[in-house]
């Protein structure tokens, strides 16, 4: 599984990238079909609270793609919310089989 992190208009810290990689690795437990995880991070204008947006896309060749996008105070929180939403989607995909 490959994790791609794209940060728009800023440089993501190594700590943030490690956090995202760790969270993405946990998704493989829910479905081994995941080939790629694409994470997009951006700061939403204006500069207020709740302006960090994370989008996570799971690419699964045989089952189609899953997507979640959340906005929160921090990128870590936004990524956490996305991962939780994707876990629910993965559970639904597994039950539908």
| Residue 81 tokens, joined | 């919310």
The confidence score (pLDDT) of residue 97 equals 64
Measured distance CA(11)–CA(20) in Å, rounded? 14
In the chain, what are the domains? 2-96 (3.30.160.100)
pLDDT of residue 94: 80
pLDDT of residue 18: 96
What pLDDT is stored for residue 64 in this prediction? 85
- Of 8-22, 66-80, 83-97, the range with the lowest mean pLDDT is 83-97
**pLDDT for 29:** 86
Report how far residue 71's alpha carbon sits from residue 78's, in angstroms, rounded to the nearest whole number: 5
Given a cut of 80, whether residue 10 has pLDDT beyond it is yes
CA distance linking residue 15 with residue 34, whole number of Å: 24
Q: State the average pLDDT over residues 60-76.
A: 92
């Amino acid at each position: 599984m490959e994790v791609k992190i794209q940060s728009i208009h800023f440089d993501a810290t190594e700590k943030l990238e490690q956090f995202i990689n760790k969270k993405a690795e946990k998704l493989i437990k829910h479905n081994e079909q995941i080939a790629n995880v694409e994470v997009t991070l951006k700061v939403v204008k204006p500069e207020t609270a709740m302006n960090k947006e994370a989008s996570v896309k799971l690419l699964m060749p045989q089952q189609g793609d899953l997507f979640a996008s959340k906005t929160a105070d921090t990128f870590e929180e936004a990524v956490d919310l996305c991962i939780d939403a994707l876990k629910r989607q993965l559970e639904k995909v597994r039950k539908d089989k």
